[in-house]
Structure 1
């Protein structure tokens, strides 16, 4: 089983754990649920606040767009630059 990166947006911590599809990963520091980072996606260092905030703003936006596209397949095509995906 390969490791995945999980991020806690509340305390700005990254951690690597084995991928577990059914189990949510909880941050050991603040006990909030962590977000799974897409495979091979570079996350900026938490100490670089502007890059960190811009990255998570874009990443969460693209995840919402994917959810909207799945809910409404008749939406127009879209390109997600951070994930480097084109949805038709």
Structure 2
């Protein structure tokens, strides 16, 4: 085999190797980004669910406080007049 041919084959092989390496790095970065997006979406949904639970509890407390306020108004209304 001619030394020039061996050199050309080595250059082509090195070029293909470098291109493959670069593409694999970009591919893994893209997959990692997609995985992170899914993770953040999942966390966002969990946080929304927790906030929803807190909203229900706050609404229940608001109803109770309103009821207590009405009861206190009825109890102390005669003394205010």
Provide the TM-score with structure 2 as the length reference: 0.32
* Structure in which a larger fraction of residues adopt strand: 1
Q: Which structure has more helix as a fraction of its residues?
A: 2
Q: Which structure's CA Rg is the greater one?
A: 2
Structure with the bigger RCO (C-alpha within 8 Å, sep 6+) is 1
